[in-house]
Chains A and B, each alone.
Chain A
Amino acid sequence: MRRHDYQLDHTRLPLYNALQDHIDSRVIPFDVPGHKRGRGNQYLTEFLGKSVMAADVNSMKPLDFICNPISVIKEAEDLMADAYGADEAFFIVNGTSQAVQSMVMSAVSEGDTIIMPRNVHKSVINALILSGAIPHYVYPHIEEDYGMVTGMSLEDVKKAIDQAPHAKAIFVINPTYYGVVSDLESIIKLAHEHDMHVIVDEAHGAHFPFHDAFPYSAIALGADMVASSLHKTGGSLTQSSVLLLNNGRIKRNHVKTIINLTQTTSASYILMTSLDLTRKYLVDEGEKVFDKVVSLAKNARDKINQIDGLTAFDIDSFSKKACYGFDTAKLGINVTGIGLTGLNVYEILRDDYNIQIEMGDAHNILAILSIGDSDKEVNQLVSALFAISNNYRKEPLKLEFKHFSATDVKLSPRQAFYSEMERLDLKDSVGRISGEFVMIYPPGIPILAPGEFITSEIVAYIELLKKENGTLSGLEDTNGDYIYCIKEV
């Protein structure tokens, strides 16, 4: 069932064992952290427990050093790389945002062009501010009925490569929040033919390599770098993540140097050890536990689809053009058929039914199923949806979907970020360059990013969505009456 054979001995737990040996050795600590195994802070020790406090240590000879791993961290990283079928893995403790930023900065630098979908996470634009690269956007496919974006069609990627043949890299999301994957294999082939790096945000696909029911992981398809959020669906602790590298186009030492620009030098051993243990768990148990997740998700879909007005997405829900594969562990549900917005259902579930889901937008809600779920919890979610559909049902909502026009990138996000700015009335900003983000949900595509030309169509579009109470984000002025623009000289 596994898609690649492991080369290394996965019974090993190098980092965990070294940490456990260290704890057992009862070394007298005259180093940081100052709580000294919890003895110095009873409040925290009572809350977290002695074992957690004892594991909170600083780097030292037997425990290796995150900035230049040569022993137990390196061994644990090599095992992680092997588990994903990558050449190299880097442990990241500042969250996947940092993994994504390090990845972007490793692939492109000042003045380089990078092709990316317009719906990238804000951390990616921030990475462009840090690196000085210039984005060339591909507009992802929009599913109007569901008010969401899916993947990039191969055709649109080809077009982008034709328009920006000098681009140095292409950035792909695998999968989207709702679980849609693009034709990554063809995109990688095409990009490499044009001498472009392929870097992949796999924040929502850390579980992909461990079960055949899931789409292929990007590293297995030959992507150059992949940021994988093990803490999201893999089961490690929040903020722990890995950056994976296939050797060749991008060099290990370069990546390491870039990571060290922003990563802490006091990496948490609790977080890093959670990566070590999680890797072994996924190798040992992944197939079995994800079997269960897949069947839970199937049962949940079948039951939810019996509720009049609700549609639980699967691969056939989306246009084939930009949906090459689908992650069934993402339980996305269109709810407009019962007369509620996704945001309504999100809040009702939270406030009335004590159920926290991942998100709700105008049309849909998203529940994440993972290794910690069982029939019991899934039954409760389905029951709550039954109850909500009975208790709150109204006439089906017809949400009109409004397209907006793309605009030109005039300055790199970095140039825009460091330019002098002035605050203008939104209506006076036509013809100027934006210094801010403007994002509206749905569908969560930035309308403006720093450095982009403000057209009259864009201003009209923002005004329209404001009138309709769209959720505006990014701007300093949350009402969206003013916008910071680049000062003209």
Chain B
Amino acid sequence: MELWYTEEHTDNVRFSIKVKEQLHSEKSDFQQIDFFDSNEFGRFFTLDGLMMVNEKDEFAYHDMIVHVSMATNPNIKNVLVIGGGDGGTVRELTRYSSIEKIDMVEIDERVVRLSQEYLPITASKLDDPRVSLYFEDGVAFVDGLEKAYDLILVDSTDPIGPGEGLFSKAFYDNCYRALTDEGILVNQHESPYYERDAKEMKRSHSKIKKLFKVSKVYQFHMPTYPSGHWLFGFASKKYDPLKDADLEAWNKLGLKTKYYNTNIHIGCFMLPTFAQDMLDEV
């Protein structure tokens, strides 16, 4: 018997992974959570049937959500991670000894606990003494905060489902206020390729670019996400990631990374024309 996990990337496109074993399945208060083991991608987990993290390509996502802004402003001390229940984003952050405080706000505690059990590769650093975990709605967490963080990383699911509020203008407005004058916001920015994802990409960009002095979008290759072509948003009150980044200083830190490097830092902002056009028109 063969067991396959299938995700519908669109109504007409499917992506399947042959599954060795289903490790866990439960319905939390917020979503359906499933953990699998596979030959090709190792362990992976899905929320409401959608691929979140797997052992084989998680490095691309977690390198790129963290290191671009850390290389842009090496003085980042206080970081807020919204979502990111698998812990991979926090893991990358903990590699910087300069960071003093990491608050992670994840709405679904079960995602964190199950990741600690089944995906230690990403969840292993959640017990770092600088890390505080808050299990609540990130939308409500940032209400009323003022200049509290140098960096906010929005490591969210897609806008349909529990992640919806994390794509709202109210949330971005309140993040803006929660950031210091040098603050940077990086958010999961969907993809330009398939129509539904592209629509959300444009909606998100149109909201953020009205708020921040600097608002750019950068790309990375994420083989298990629809089309493999995925984006993060980079928005900042002060720093331009291309002009202001001190890449030499970052290289001197000597961090060993598997995806990010300082050439990618520049290159990832160079988008293909069709994607750049879509972003320019909003």
Contact = CB atoms under 8 A, between A and B. Distances in A.
A379 B137 contact: yes
Interface in B128-185: 137, 139-140, 142-144, 162, 164-165, 168-171, 173-174, 177
Given A376-B137, A383-B139, A306 B144 contact: yes
B169 A353 contact: yes
Given A382-B143, A383-B143, A375 B173 contact: no
A247 to B, nearest CB: 46
Interface stretch (A106-114, A386-394, A454-462): A386-394
B169 A386 contact: no
Given A375-B137, A376-B137, A379-B165, A390 B173 contact: yes
Contacts of B173: 383, 386-387, 390-391
B170 A383 contact: yes
Question: Which of B137, B142, B173 neighbours the largest number of chain A CB atoms within 10 Å of its CB?
Answer: B173
A376 B164 CA distance: 9
A264 interface: no
A380 interface: yes
Nearest to B166: A380
Nearest to A390: B177
B169 A376 contact: no
Contacts of B171: 380, 383
Contacts of B174: 383, 386-387, 390
Contacts of B142: 383
Contacts of B169: 352-354, 384, 387
A303 interface: yes
Contacts of B165: 376, 379-380, 383
Interface in B103-146: 137, 139-140, 142-144
B177 A384 contact: no
Question: Which of A306, A354, A376, A391 neighbours the largest number of chain B CB atoms within 10 Å of its CB?
Answer: A376
Contacts of A307: 144
Interface residues of A, number: 18
A383 B137 CA distance: 11
Nearest to A377: B165
Interface in A344-358: 352-355
A65 to B, nearest CB: 42
A154 B124 CA distance: 67
Given A382-B140, A386-B143, A353 B177 contact: no
A236 B170 CA distance: 31
A383 B168 contact: yes
Interface string A355-388: 1000000000000000000011001101110110
Contacts of A391: 173
B56 to A, nearest CB: 32
B162 A376 contact: yes
Interface residues of chain B: helix, strand, loop or mixed (majority): helix
A382 B136 CA distance: 15
Given A354-B169, A386-B144, A380 B139 contact: yes
Contacts of B139: 376, 379-380, 383
Interface in A284-315: 303, 306-307
B121 to A, nearest CB: 30
Question: Which of A303, A352, A375, A387 neighbours the largest number of chain B CB atoms within 10 Å of its CB?
Answer: A387
Given A390-B173, A391-B173, A380 B168 contact: yes
Contacts of A352: 169
Question: Which of A352, A354, A380, A383 neighbours the largest number of chain B CB atoms within 10 Å of its CB?
Answer: A383
Interface in B166-206: 168-171, 173-174, 177
B170 A387 contact: yes
Question: Which of A353, A355, A380, A382 neighbours the largest number of chain B CB atoms within 10 Å of its CB?
Answer: A380
Contacts of B170: 353, 355, 380, 383-384, 386-387
B180 to A, nearest CB: 16
A303 B162 CA distance: 21
A380 B137 CA distance: 10
Contacts of B162: 376
B212 to A, nearest CB: 14
A357 to B, nearest CB: 13
A380 B174 CA distance: 11
Contacts of B168: 353-354, 380, 383-384
A359 B173 CA distance: 23
Contacts of A379: 137, 139-140, 165
Contacts of B144: 306-307, 386
Contacts of A384: 168-170
Contacts of B177: 387, 390
Nearest to B164: A376
A384 B169 CA distance: 8
A63 B144 CA distance: 56
A382 to B, nearest CB: 6
A387 B168 CA distance: 11
A383 B143 CA distance: 6
Question: Which of A307, A386, A391 neighbours the largest number of chain B CB atoms within 10 Å of its CB?
Answer: A386
A303 B137 contact: no
A375 B137 CA distance: 8
B119 to A, nearest CB: 25
Contacts of B137: 375-376, 379
Interface string A143-162: 00000000000000000000
B147 to A, nearest CB: 12
A351 to B, nearest CB: 10
Nearest to B210: A352
A303 B143 contact: yes
A386 B162 CA distance: 20
Nearest to A383: B170
Contacts of B140: 303, 375, 379, 382-383
A1 to B, nearest CB: 24
A193 B191 CA distance: 71
Nearest to B177: A390
Nearest to A386: B143
Contacts of A380: 139, 164-165, 168, 170-171
7 contacts: A353-B169, A376-B137, A379-B137, A383-B142, A383-B168, A386-B174, A387-B174
Interface of B: 137, 139-140, 142-144, 162, 164-165, 168-171, 173-174, 177
10 shortest interchain CB distances as A-B pairs: A387-B173, A384-B170, A383-B170, A379-B140, A386-B143, A379-B139, A387-B170, A380-B165, A379-B137, A383-B139
Given A353-B170, A379-B165, A380-B168, 19 more contacts: A307-B144, A352-B169, A354-B169, A355-B170, A376-B162, A379-B139, A380-B170, A382-B143, A383-B143, A383-B168, A383-B170, A383-B171, A383-B173, A384-B168, A386-B173, A387-B169, A387-B174, A387-B177, A391-B173
